[in-house]
Amino acid sequence: MTVAVVTGAGSGIGQASALRFAAKGATVIVADIDARGGNDTVARVRAAGGRAEFRHLDVADAAGWEEFAAAIVRDHDVPDVVVNNAGILIAGGFLEQSGADWRRMIAINMMGPLFGSRVFVQRMVDAGKRGAIVNVCSVGAFLPTPLGPSYVTAKAGAWMGTQALRAEFAGQGIRVSAVCPGLINTELSANGTRAGLDASSEAEWAAKLARGQQVFGRPPDRVAVAIERAIRWNLATVPVGIEAWAGWYLSRLAPGVMRGITGLAQMPLAEKVVQLSGRVLGGQR
C-alpha cells in the first residue's frame, strides 16, 4: 500500500495533494504545524473514504524532522512519496526585511524542504526503495523580484537543492522533482507578513492581497495534478501556470531581460496595486 507524506497539508496545495493521493488509494500522512487545519484535512480524507492521519511538524526544526521520519517509518514503513510543500510569505524590500525575517524565510522555505528530502532519501536508500520526493518551490525561484527578496532567495535555494538531490540519487531509482506554481488561490497571502509595517497596517495589507489572490489565483488542485504528473513521468521541474512557464523560460533564455522586468515592480508600485485591488474587490468603502 502506498504511503504519502505531505507537509503543509492543513490547507491549500498540501490539502489538495493529500485528497488526491488518498483518492488514489494511498495512506496519507498529513503533516502541518497547524493542528486544526491538519485535522480538518484528515476529516475530509476520511469522509471521502480514504486513509489519513495527522502528525504535527515544524519544518524548520531539524531535530523534529528526524523524530518525525523515525515515527513514520516505525508506524508505516518508508514512505513511497514525500511532498515538501509547507511555506510562508514575507513581503517587503531587501532592506525592509529584518535579519530575523531572512532567517525565518530560509529556515522554512529553503531548509524545510531540504531537511525533509534528506531524512527521507536516506531511509529510501537504506531500504532500497525507489520512492519519489517532490519539493514545491515557486515561480519565485526564477524571479529576482524586489517585492520579496527573501522569499525568492529561499525558493531558488530549494529549487537548486532539489536538482542536486535529483542528480545524486537518480542512479538509485529515486525520483526527485521541483514543482513551481505561479499564482494559486491558497492562504499564503492571508497568512503572510509585510515587513516594515505595524501590526494593523500589515493585517490590512495581507487581507487585500489575499482577496486578489482569491480572484486571480488558480485552484490548488492544479498544483496537485502537477505533483502527480511530476512523479509519474519523473520530471525535474514542473512550472504551473502561464506566468510560471514564462518565468522559467525567460530566466534561462534572457536573464538580463528578466531582471529588468522584475526590477520595475518596486514596493511602492506593489502597494498601489494592492490598494487598488482592495477597492475593486470591496476591501474599502
249 as an active site residue: the answer is no
Q: Which helix (H) or strand (E) holds 28?
A: strand 27-32
Q: Which of 68, 151, 169, 205 is catalytic?
A: 151
Range of the domain at 204: 3-281
Measuring CA to CA, which residue among 73, 59, 184, 56 is closest to residue 124?
Answer: 73
Quote the number of domains for the chain: 1
State residue 177 phi and psi, 5-degree precision. Answer: -135, 150
Terminal-residue alpha carbon distance, the chain: 54
Query: How confident is the prediction along the chain (285 residues), in pLDDT tens digits per residue?
Result: 699 999 999 999 999 999 999 999 999 999 999 999 999 999 999 999 999 999 999 999 999 999 999 999 999 999 999 999 999 988 888 888 999 999 999 999 999 999 999 999 999 999 999 999 999 999 999 998 888 899 999 999 999 999 999 999 999 999 999 999 998 987 665 566 766 665 665 555 555 555 555 555 689 999 999 999 999 999 999 999 999 999 999 998 988 888 887 776 654 545 554 455 445 445 443
pTM equals 0.88
Q: Residue 158 maps to which CATH number? A: 3.40.50.720
For residue 139, the one-letter residue type is V
Q: Which helix (H) or strand (E) holds 149?
A: helix 149-169
